[in-house]
Chains A and B, each alone.
Chain A
Amino acid sequence: KAGVTQTPRYLIKTRGQQVTLSCSPISGHRSVSWYQQTPGQGLQFLFEYFSETQRNKGNFPGRFSGRQFSNSRSEMNVSTLELGDSALYLCASSPAGWDEKLFFGSGTQLSVL
């Protein structure tokens, strides 16, 4: 079984631009969560999707958004990038998202210049 796939692996953007990150969960997994990882803040929860519905979200500004498609693939978008958005963005999948272990992808390393 293929693992969680995130693309692209690396991204370099400049302030003010927007970016879209993609995540393909493990086949059969319907829950996808997104986390931001930085050296200073650790892993911060962004949002969780299940069957194309956002069920929970973290404390991030509205510039951070996401969506999930009918095949469970998910995308997150960050608009008007700021320097502080530089981070490793991790996607995790699980069968239903209800108190289950998370399978993480390798992440997308975003650098904002």
Chain B
Amino acid sequence: GQQVMQIPQYQHVQEGEDFTTYCNSSTTLSNIQWYKQRPGGHPVFLIQLVKSGEVKKQKRLTFQFGEAKKNSSLHITATQTTDVGTYFCAGSPRAGTYKYIFGTGTRLKVLA
């Protein structure tokens, strides 16, 4: 079946360092979303990307959707302790399927 993999699985960074997580799908995606889950919390929506090659920024966060719509990345500049959590990508196989395939997640720890 369709799979969405994320690397790395874990990442420890010093506060102020940059962080990137990568998301790869085995098949083309209609769109991709990113979520953040704080320890003990639930996933919270960050952003949705729809177009091939799309790049979106939210303050220190930069999201990219690959040209082939099979991969995506999330880059955080100058991490802060508030960035701690697990970041998930979620791909929609095709429009109107009413389901998302979640990536395996990247757990980020930020050392002060």
* Residue pair A45, B99 in contact (C-beta under 8 Å): yes
Binds B, one of A12-20, A50-58, A67-75, A78-86: A50-58
Q: Which of A43, A48, A92, A104 has the most CB of B within 10 A?
A: A43
Once A43-B88, A59-B1 are accepted as A-B contacts, the answer to whether A35 and B95 lie under 8 Å apart by CB is: no
> How many B residues face the partner with a CB closer than 8 A?
26
How would residues 14 to 33 of chain B score, 1 for a CB under 8 Å from any chain A CB and 0 otherwise? 00000000000000001101
Contacts of A106 in B (CB 8 A): 41-42
- Known A-B contacts A42-B88, A45-B101, A99-B31; the reply to A105 vs B95 at CB < 8 A is no
CA gap between A90 and B43 in the complex, in Å: 9
Give the interface of A toward B (CB within 8 A).
31, 33, 35, 42-45, 48, 50, 55-56, 58-59, 90, 92, 97-99, 101-107
Supply 27 A–B pairs (Cβ within 8 Å), ascending by A: A31-B98, A33-B98, A33-B99, A42-B105, A43-B105, A45-B99, A45-B101, A45-B102, A48-B99, A50-B98, A56-B97, A59-B1, A90-B42, A90-B43, A92-B43, A97-B98, A98-B98, A99-B31, A99-B96, A101-B33, A101-B48, A102-B35, A102-B43, A102-B90, A104-B43, A104-B44, A107-B42
CA distance A90 to B33 in the complex (A): 17
Contacts of B85 in A (CB 8 A): none
Please report the C-alpha to C-alpha distance between residue A33 and residue B42 in the assembled complex, in whole angstroms. 14
User: Considering the complex, which residues of chain B in the window 27-58 have a beta carbon less than 8 Å from any beta carbon of chain A?
Assistant: 30-31, 33, 35, 41-45, 48, 50
Query: Which residue of B has the minimal Cβ distance to A4?
Result: B42
Chain B, 75-112, CB within 8 A of any chain A CB: 88, 90, 92, 95-105
Residues in B with CB closer than 8 Å to A90 are: 42-43
